[in-house]
A and B are shown apart, each in its own frame.
Chain A
Amino acid sequence: MSILAEVTGSLGSIGYGLAAIGPGIGIGIIFGQGVQAIARQPEAYGVIRQNMILGFALAEALALIGFVVPFVFGA
C-alpha cells in the first residue's frame, strides 16, 4: 500500500493540543456553573466548592494524560 499522506514533526504537541480541547471546555463549564450556583445560593458555598474542585480534578486528568503520553511513548 502506498502512502498518500504523512504527518511529521512534533506530533506530541499536536496531540496535546487535541487532548486539551475537551477538558478545556469541561473545566470552563464546571467553574462557570459553579460560580453561578454560588451566586444563587451563597450559603451552600462549601458543598458547591468541594464538588467544583472534584469535577475540575476529574476533567483536568484527561488533559494531563495527554501531556504526559508523548513523553512516555514519543521517543
Chain B
Amino acid sequence: MNLATIATEDACHLNSGCGFPAPNAEIFFLKPYSLTLFGHHLLISKSIILALLVALIVITFFVAASRSSKLVPTKLQSIGEQAYLFIRDQIAREVIGKEGDKFVPFLGSLFFFIWICNLMGVVPGAQFPVMSSLAFPVALTLMVYITYVYLGMKHQGPIKFFTNAAFPPGVPKAMYVLLTPLELLGLLVTRPVTQAIRLFANMFAGHLLITTFTVGAYYLLSPSIIGALGSVTSFGVTVVLTGFEMFIQGLQAFIFTLLTAVYIGGSLHAEH
C-alpha cells in the first residue's frame, strides 16, 4: 500500500478495524509524469526532475558567487569562498596533500550535488531524497571509479598500478597467497560497490524511517487516549528524526567525497 492510497482511505485509523498500513519499498517507486515533447512520448520521474533542479541550483550558486570576484568579497562571494575552502582544506589537502588542489572542483561538485540531492528528502514539496534511487549513486560511483583507475594507470603505469595494489610491501612472502586476491577484489569490486550502496542505503533507510513515523502519526490519530498520545509522540519523533536525517545527509555527502579523495590519493602514490 502506498501513501497515496493511505491518504484517500480516510477511515483507516486506530479503532476502525484496519491494521497499521506499514510503508514498504513501494514508496520509492513513484508514478512517473508523462508528457509529450516534439511528438515524442516521455515518462519523467520525480527523481530526474529533482536531480536536474539540484544541478541547476548548484551551478547557479557557484557561477553567481564566483562571477565578478572582488578583493573585498560580497556576502555571496564570501559564502562561495567558504564552501571552496571547506572542500580544499578539510578534504583535498587533508587527504591527498598539496597536489589535491587540482581535484577541488571535482570533489566540490560531487559534495554539493550529493548534499543538495540528499537535502531534497526533507525540503517541503520535494520530500524525495534523489540518492534513494540506486541508479544515481551507481552513476556517481562509476564516475569516481573510472577517475581513480585512470589516474592510477597514468601515475603508476598501466600494469604497475595493479601489481602495486596486489603485492603490498613489507609482508611475508607466504601471505601473498591470501592477500593478493583480497587486495585486488577490494580495489576493483568492493570499493565501488560499498561506496554506492552506502549512500543509497542511508538515504533509503532514513526516508523509510521518517515515512513510517509520519504514517504512524496519521494512523494513531483517533478519539481515544492511547491514540491521541501515540499520535503526538509519533509526530514528535518525526520532527526529531527529520533533524537527525539532515545531519546524516550532510555526513553521507562528506563521507562519499572523503572516500573519493582517499581513492584518488591512493592512485597518485603507491603504498610504501
Contact = CB atoms under 8 A, between A and B. Distances in A.
A71 B25 contact: yes
B258 A53 contact: yes
Contact of B24 (A64, A68, A71): A71
Given A46-B94, A53-B258, A65 B24 contact: no
Contacts of A68: 197, 200-201, 204-205
Contact of A61 (B94, B198, B205): B198
Interface in A32-65: 46-47, 50, 53-54, 57-58, 60-61, 64-65
Interface residues of A, number: 14
A71 B255 CA distance: 24
Given A71-B24, A71-B25, A61 B197 contact: yes
Contacts of B201: 61, 64-65, 67-68
B258 A64 contact: no
B259 A64 contact: no
Interface in B257-272: 258-259, 262
A68 B202 CA distance: 10
B259 A65 contact: no
Given A65-B201, A68-B204, A57 B95 contact: no
B197 A65 contact: yes
A54 B262 contact: yes
A68 B94 CA distance: 32
Nearest to A46: B94
A64 B202 contact: yes
Contact of A67 (B194, B205, B254, B258): B205
A64 B198 contact: yes
B194 A58 contact: yes
A70 to B, nearest CB: 9
A61 B198 CA distance: 5
B79 to A, nearest CB: 23
A26 to B, nearest CB: 14
Nearest to A10: B22
Interface of A: 46-47, 50, 53-54, 57-58, 60-61, 64-65, 67-68, 71
Given A64-B197, A67-B205, A68-B205, 9 more contacts: A50-B95, A53-B254, A53-B255, A53-B258, A54-B262, A58-B194, A67-B201, A68-B200, A71-B25
Interface of B: 24-25, 94-95, 194, 197-198, 200-202, 204-205, 254-255, 258-259, 262
